[in-house]
Amino acid sequence: MSSIWSKNPYTGEKLKEYQKDTSTSIQEKLKMAQSVQKEWSDKTIEERCELLQNVSELLLDRKEEYAKLISTEMGKPISQSTAEIEKCAWACDFYAFNAEDLLADEIIETDAEESFISYDPLGCILAVMPWNYPFWQVIRFAAPTLTAGNTGILKHAQNVPGCSMALEQLFLDAGFPKGCFQAILAGHVEIEELIGNDGIKAVTLTGSEKAGKGIAQAAGKNLKKTLLELGGNNACIVFEDANLDKYLDTMVQARMQNTGQSCIAAKRFIVCPEIYDEFLERFVGATKKLTVGNPMDKDTYIGVLARADLADTLKEQVDKSLEKGAQLIVGNKKDGAFFEPTILSEVTPGMPAFDEETFGPVAAIVKAENRKHAIELANNSRYGLGSMLFTEDIEGALELIPEISDGAFFINDMVKSDPRLPFGGTKASGYGRELSREGILAFVNKKTVYIKN
């Protein structure tokens, strides 16, 4: 049986060795998930919600332990790791309080004596999850999916095995039946075999476009439903009337939180000419004030990337953009997994900093000719996860809603996920929606029931 090591990206220290699952052990876990699913779905929604509330309470009780685990395995600054755990508890609270209403039969008036939609669980759902929010990405899948009566198998990123195992234990400690939520440590070959098994009813993935295509292809040939939340190249549009005094810190946070490793981060700042110089000067000044250092220090805002190869990729994207005419304002220095906060100006379409997803603390500043051109530049992307617009002209912003092709449009705030709102993208950012009512209905059979005497 082969093994994998977790590694601290800040110190380079090996943390712990974990045994990978074999095809046999994966099949055993799937059988357990299938056998417990009927028992689990027969429980009342109220009973399931009580257990989910237990998860919320345990998350808060153990938030320091879990935050330390996140920070040591993937380098997130500890204060942001703590906030991630708190957000997980919030999502559990939301579904524990609202699931009964969200899953209630929907009465439809027809010629029948009675007709309605019944929301029944599909069975065992496979979740393939990334390392950048190693608890949040999993909880936002598991909380609604399990509460709807499904069981779940988690295939987490290989650099956060400790988080993966901790999440499995979390649900057991909260009282969920053994087999209801299980983690596996496996590679692509084993996952493709698992998707082909009739016991897996659907697959959800949060990750890269490449990973999404691979999962969609494997699921498609087996006629399995998929939900994909992939990469993003979000635009932060800054109109000439934007209130920089009020919102500049929000814009900096939109790019630099989690050391820039977020699919919904603002990666392209598209700025109207009247405010461009002021914006650039103030954005640079605010970025230079961010505390860079050890992820375990509470004052640290910028830590390290999760792996050294990610810093190498980011450096290559920045260097190629500079070769094509972008101007380096600050940054572009790397050391192992560390990448200095970097700001590029004079960025235009055709440069990696404009066209590609830059997964790290790199801000691309783009000068638009006017408001209309700013919207055109924002939509000039293969991705469609979210856009944000900063302006005092709210009525004008509302008129732009149909012109934004993304899955989210935030006005005077950064794009973020919220348990109360659906989350997902368009184009190369994937399809389907997580969270809110959409999330709990993502993996149910929307069954039409028609009764006539």
| CATH code of the domain containing 364 | 3.40.309.10
Check whether residue 253 and residue 352 sit in a common domain: yes
**pLDDT given at position 453:** 87
Residue 304, number of CB atoms within 10 A of its CB? 30
Check whether residue 373 and residue 280 sit in a common domain: yes
Return d(Cα 12, Cα 338) in angstroms, integer: 11
Residue 204 backbone dihedrals phi, psi, to 5 degrees: -120, 140
Which residues sit opposite 356 in a β-bridge?
A: none
Measured in Å, how far apart are the chain's first and last C-alpha atoms?
A: 60
* Residue 215 located in a structural domain: yes
Check whether residue 99 and residue 225 sit in a common domain: yes
Is the pLDDT assigned to residue 1 strictly greater than 70? no
CATH code for the domain in which residue 87 is found: 3.40.605.10
pTM higher than 0.75, yes or no? yes
Under a CB-based contact definition with an 8 Å cutoff, are residues 391 and 398 in contact? no
Q: Which residues constitute the domain of residue 442? A: 3-230+429-451
Check whether residue 187 and residue 268 sit in a common domain: no
Check whether residue 221 and residue 74 sit in a common domain: yes
* Residue 270 located in a structural domain: yes
Check whether residue 255 and residue 200 sit in a common domain: no
- Count of all residues that appear for the chain in the document: 453
Q: What is the pLDDT of residues 43-102, one digit of tens each?
A: 999 999 999 999 999 999 999 999 999 999 999 999 999 999 999 999 999 999 999 999
Rounded to 5°, angle at Cα 120 from 118 and 122 = 145
Tell me the CA distances in angstroms from 201 to 176, 182, 223, 421, one per residue in order.
20, 15, 9, 25
* Number of folded domains that form the chain: 2
Under a CB-based contact definition with an 8 Å cutoff, are residues 269 and 287 in contact? no
**pLDDT given at position 363:** 98
Q: What is the average per-residue pLDDT within 372-389?
A: 98
Return d(Cα 59, Cα 45) in angstroms, integer: 21
3-class SS of residue 352? helix
* Residue 49 located in a structural domain: yes
Is the pLDDT assigned to residue 201 strictly greater than 90? yes
- Could you tell me which of 386, 302, 298, 265 has the C-alpha nearest to residue 83? 298
- Could you tell me which of 3, 171, 10, 183 has the C-alpha nearest to residue 88? 171
- Could you tell me which of 270, 279, 274 has the C-alpha nearest to residue 247? 279
Q: What is the average per-residue pLDDT within 100-113?
A: 97
Which residues sit opposite 118 in a β-bridge?
A: 447
Q: Which residues are catalytic?
A: 229
